């Protein structure tokens, strides 16, 4: 769970940095890992991240003709499925703050024969869409990298139509202390080693491990979503709470 930080500062992993500096440092991490992002996800999660994302896709319940936004969508694996679900009468939009990640997303969508998905370089804290634009918004493994999570939640809520839903897929707090110990060992010893051997970038993967620990736990994120104006917030723990999906609705 995230701890307090000095006024004007925020967390970059375990380090406290000036608020204005975090965005550039996070951008550096994802520019560095973009080309090997999906490969590293497969290695780090033993492929389980695909099941977590499948759960989100099913829970979103996207229907033909709907308008869907995937925030911090990176390489496009969620928006790819949403584009198929909404069909030619709907709209699926991929957004990310990082140009390199968007480029990878575009390439991977085209490799799978998916065209016509708008790509928008956008900050989750200040989404450039009109009030009530979307039936469904998702953010998968992106919220923990946002500087002002409350602002991002408010921005996403504003972009939902009344009755629309927001789904947040993110690493969370394991429910079992024994699992938590094993997970810590894996995160702080194996992940940086993988980063060094596979991506030649130990520091970025150490940051990713630390950023997970600084992210709010399940109950805290649920409260944050409610304070941002979302209702009927439900929490779904996956893989013993290593990952959680939060779903909330804009009622009016």
* CATH code where residue 63 lies: 3.40.50.150
The answer to the question of residue 203 being in a domain is: no
List binding-site positions for S-adenosyl-L-methionine.
75, 96, 123-124
Report the percentage of the chain scoring pLDDT > 90. Answer: 57
For 102-159, the pLDDT digits (tens) are 998 999 999 999 989 999 999 999 999 999 999 999 999 899 889 899 999 999 999 9
Q: Domains in the chain: how many in total? A: 1
The answer to the question of residue 184 being in a domain is: no
**Range with the lowest mean pLDDT among 32-41, 94-103, 169-178, 212-221?**
32-41
Q: Which residue range(s) make up the domain with 76?
A: 9-175+208-249
Helix (H, G, I), strand (E, B) or coil at 233: strand
The answer to the question of residue 239 being in a domain is: yes
List binding-site positions.
75, 96, 123-124
The answer to the question of residue 241 being in a domain is: yes
On the 0-12 / 13-18 / 19+ scale of CB atoms within 10 A, 148 is middle
Looking at residue 36, what is its pLDDT? 66
Which of the 8 DSSP states describes residue 99? H
Look up the pTM and report it: 0.87
Most confident among 9-13, 22-26, 55-59, 73-77 (mean pLDDT): 55-59
**Range with the lowest mean pLDDT among 27-31, 92-96, 162-166?**
27-31
Q: With beta carbons less than 8 A apart as the criterion, state whether 137 and 79 touch.
A: no
The answer to the question of residue 223 being in a domain is: yes
The answer to the question of residue 26 being in a domain is: yes
The answer to the question of residue 197 being in a domain is: no
Task: Encode 42-59: b = buried (16+ Cβ within 10 Å), e = exposed.
Answer: ebbeeeebeebbebbbeb
The answer to the question of residue 168 being in a domain is: yes
- Gap between the Cα atoms of 252 and 229, Å rounded: 9
Looking at residue 66, what is its pLDDT? 98
- What are the structure tokens assigned to 151, written together? 């602002």
């Amino acid at each position: 769970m995230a701890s307090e930080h000095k006024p004007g500062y925020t967390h970059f992993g375990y380090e406290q940095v000036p608020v204005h500096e975090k965005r550039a440092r996070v951008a550096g991490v994802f520019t560095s890992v973009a080309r090997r992002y999906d490969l590293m996800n497969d290695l780090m999660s033993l492929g389980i991240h695909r099941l977590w994302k499948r759960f989100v896709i099913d829970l979103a319940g996207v229907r033909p003709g709907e308008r869907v936004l995937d925030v911090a969508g990176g390489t496009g694996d969620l928006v790819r499925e949403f584009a198929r679900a909404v069909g030619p009468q709907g709209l699926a939009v991929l957004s990310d703050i990082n140009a390199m990640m968007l480029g990878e997303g575009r390439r991977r969508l085209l490799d799978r024969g998916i065209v016509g998905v708008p790509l928008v370089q956008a900050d989750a804290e200040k989404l450039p869409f009109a009030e009530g634009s979307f039936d469904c918004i998702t953010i998968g493994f992106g919220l923990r990298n946002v500087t002002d999570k409350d602002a991002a939640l408010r921005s996403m809520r504003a972009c939902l139509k009344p009755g629309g839903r927001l789904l947040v897929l993110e690493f969370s707090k394991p429910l079992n202390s024994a699992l938590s110990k094993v997970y810590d060992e894996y995160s702080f010893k194996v992940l940086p080693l993988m980063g060094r051997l596979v991506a030649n970038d130990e520091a970025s993967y150490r940051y990713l491990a630390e950023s997970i620990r600084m992210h709010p736990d399940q109950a805290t994120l649920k409260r944050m979503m409610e304070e941002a104006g979302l209702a009927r917030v439900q929490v779904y723990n996956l893989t013993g709470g290593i990952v959680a999906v939060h779903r909330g609705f804009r009622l009016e």
